[in-house]
Amino acid sequence: MDLFLNSWTLFWFLTINIMMLLLTVSYFFAERHNK
């Protein structure tokens, strides 16, 4: 974790990866909820 906090490029790489996955997962639930 320290590694990602010590490098701003790696920090954003990890953060945006997580945001991207969260976005698709939240879409899954939204789609299921609408059915």
Provide CB contacts within 8 A for 3, sequence distance 6+: 10
CB of 4 to other proteins, least distance (A): 9
Q: Which spans in the chain are helix H?
A: 2-6, 8-34
CB of 7 to other proteins, least distance (A): 5
What part of residues 1-35 is at the interface with other proteins (CB under 8 A)?
Answer: 3, 6-10, 12-13, 16-17, 19-21, 23-25, 27-28, 30-31
CA separation for the pair 13, 24 (Å, rounded): 17
Binding site for other proteins (CB under 8 A): 3, 6-10, 12-13, 16-17, 19-21, 23-25, 27-28, 30-31
